[in-house]
Amino acid sequence: MTLRPLFLYALCGSQRQASASRRLLEALRLGCPEGITIEICDLIGDLPIFNPDNEGERTPAIVEEFARKIRQADGLIVSCPEYAHGMPGGFKNALDWLVSRDEVPFKPLMFAHASHRGDLVLEQLAEVLRTMSLRIVEEAFLRLPIAGKSDEVQTDILSEARDSGLLLASLSRFEGAISADR
């Protein structure tokens, strides 16, 4: 039996188009092997502020679209910078929209971290995501410290990670964890 290709949905905690977190997700997307598709979410910055009064029949269309993509995904990749010792407000807002829904429980999740620091945000995210019943695949964790570096240095580090197989190794471990449950 041939399994359908894996669809991974990547969530970027930074809304800057030129962020290191997004650049890392782009490198994973461009370097993913045959049989895996990665789409980077571009909806987070446009989500309205979460309000429980606007759930159910009043859920905004963009939130429904975001949730539909989450539902379709075989797994999620999260890359999130640390802002003032925490997660960016827009990213937390996106997670809040998913709390009472059924798209995320037991969904596999991989962290791709673009900094040599930022462990506080990783701890906070892990706590929130586990509370939401996501399944964090620890063995797929990828840390590639490109934040704060020039474009040229980031390009060199990402190229080396691709050429050395580091990016592929993390994706392969994530794929293995997902495939074990399929």
What CATH number is given to the structural domain containing 21? 3.40.50.360
Q: What is the pLDDT of residues 68-114, one digit of tens each?
A: 999 999 999 999 999 999 999 999 999 999 999 999 999 999 999 99
Asked, for residue 94, whether it belongs to a domain, the answer is yes
Distances (CA, A) of 150 to 13, 16, 82, 165: 20, 16, 19, 23
Q: Is the pLDDT of residue 129 over 90?
A: yes
pLDDT at 124 over 70: yes
Q: Within a domain: residue 37?
A: yes
Residues 98, 70: Cα–Cα separation, whole Å: 9
Kindly state whether residue 45 falls inside one of the protein's structural domains.
Answer: yes
Sequence-distant (6+) residues with CB within 8 A of 69 are 9, 39, 41, 43
Asked whether residue 1 is domain-assigned, the answer is no
pTM of the model as a whole:
0.95
Asked if the structure places residue 139 within a domain, the reply is yes
Computed over every residue of the chain, the mean pLDDT equals 95
Residue 18 has pLDDT above 90, yes or no: no
Q: Would you place residue 1 in the very low, low, confident or very high pLDDT band (cuts 50, 70, 90)?
A: very low
* Total number of domains in the chain: 1
Please give the residue range of the domain that contains residue 106.
6-181
Question: With 80 as the cut, is the pLDDT of residue 3 above it?
Answer: no
Can you read off the two tokens belonging to residue 135? 């399944």
Contact call for residues 88 and 14 (beta carbons, < 8 A): yes
H helices present in the chain, as ranges: 20-31, 61-72, 89-98, 119-131, 151-164, 166-181
